[in-house]
Amino acid sequence: MKLEREIKDARFIFAKDEHSYQEVLDDMETATRIVVATYNISSKEPEEDGDLYLIDYLKKASPTADIKVFSNIPNRYGRYYYTPNKNSPRTRAKRSIRTYLTRLCPEEIGSNVSVFFSFANHGKIIMTENIAYIGSENFSEESKDNIEVGFIIKEPEFIGFLFSEVVPLLEVNSYPYYVIPLLAEVKEQIEEAVRGLRVELDAQVDSTHDRGGWVHYFDSLEQKTFDHLSKTLTNAKITYNEVHDEIAAIADGDEYVLDSVEGIRDNLNQLSRLIEDQMEMESIKELMRFNRTDYANALVQDDGEAYDDNLEDCIDRASELAEQELCDLCAEARIDLDQLLEYIANYQTEVQIIIDLLISYAQKVNPAIDNT
């Protein structure tokens, strides 16, 4: 396999006694996307705080930044032969693997961090969405002491190429730190979708009271909002079913885990059914079908007195009747719409509980990493 791409704008860097990718490090604090691909990280034990400072750049990034780290593990081999001493290849590999799993633990770095181990990787790419470094220098403190060379690239098209083409290839050829590494991402996507729908529906369901004391619902209640909600619920169920199957596969017969996950999925499905059934309530569907302008126009068309001389009066009267009809429909739909909003709010709460439990079951270190 070979992937090629021309670079139109790059700057050559030759460095010693400082990091050749310092510009990228400086951009990390405000970046929204960060990728680090390295052969190794520092193997030394810190003598004092601050000795291992490169990881701190990742820790100081925004908690919403999407961070991906790819690293090889030096001294890890595909197979080992028995050697009866404390410095055997297997023993060295075990120490190295333990160091990398400790220092690259995603939770220790940030809230939105994915770590991968690629045992074929020797490339070095350190980048944000704004600036990229490609060169010889590893993401390790010791590398600063070496002579290192590389290129700094700020060309948006090329950086986009790295994110869209190169990073996925790195993922395919790597082992994720956790068995289910993208669970946090799934959580975020579903939470954001449900939160967005709630905001969208709230904008269409106004909670102010009119003179009659009714909760007045805007006549902008749209079918596409409900279609979007149905699609989100369907996709969520598919996702949770997939996660359920993966957790069941790694539960290794643990009945407590299996029963808990099954109960969680049942809760999700029950909430989905409640929301879907509530969307089918006739009072809601009638309000959604109602168009105040069309209703008023129809009244004017049917009004035998709607001539040029009194057309304006007829339009005003039709508008008042349309407003009254809307208020009547709102009053009829009030309880059903409030119940729908309550179900969606409960769904948001359950999503948080469900995902947190799933993560606690699923975030197990990938057994393929430690082969000793």
Instruction: Give the model confidence (pLDDT) of 58-101 as tens digits.
Output: 999 999 999 999 999 999 999 888 766 778 889 999 999 999 99
Q: Are residues 170 and 206 in the same domain?
A: no
Answer whether residue 251 is part of any domain: yes
- Residue 210 sits in the same domain as residue 352: yes
Show which of 128, 161, 177 is a domain's final residue: 177
Same domain, 64 and 189: no
Examine residue 164 and state whether it is found in any structural domain, yes or no: yes
Q: Are residues 222 and 290 in the same domain?
A: yes
- Asked if residue 256 belongs to a domain, the reply is yes
Whether residue 213 sits in one domain with residue 158: no
Are 149 and 251 contained in the same domain? no
Across 7-11, 180-184, 335-339, 349-353, the highest mean pLDDT is recorded for 7-11
Nearest to 9 by CA among 176, 224, 153: 153
Tokens of 17: 């006694």
Question: Is the CB of residue 69 less than 8 Å from the CB of residue 78?
Answer: no
Give the bridge partners for 71, in sequence order: 38, 117
Task: Specify whether 340 is located in the same domain as 222.
Answer: yes
pTM for the complete prediction? 0.59
- One domain for residues 134 and 189: no
Are 90 and 141 contacting, i.e. CB atoms less than 8 angstroms apart? no
What CATH number corresponds to the domain at position 29?
3.30.870.10
The domain tally of the chain equals 2
| Helix, strand, coil in percent for the chain, rounding step 5 | 55, 10, 35
Please name the residue that has the structure tokens 């954001």: 192
Clarify whether residues 255 and 322 are in a common domain.
yes
Domain match, 157 and 232 both: no
Asked which of 142, 160, 177 is the last residue of a domain, the reply is: 177
Distance CA 65, CA 56 (A): 14
Domain that holds residue 153: 10-177
Residues 114 and 221 in one domain: no
Select from 177, 209, 229 the last residue of a domain. Answer: 177
Looking at the fold, whether 167 and 148 belong to one and the same domain comes out as yes
SS3 238: helix
On whether residue 367 sits in a domain, the answer given is: no
pLDDT digits (tens, 9 = 90+) for 192-250: 656 665 666 666 555 433 434 444 445 556 777 788 888 878 877 777 777 677 667 66
The mean pLDDT of 100-109, rounded to a whole number, is 92
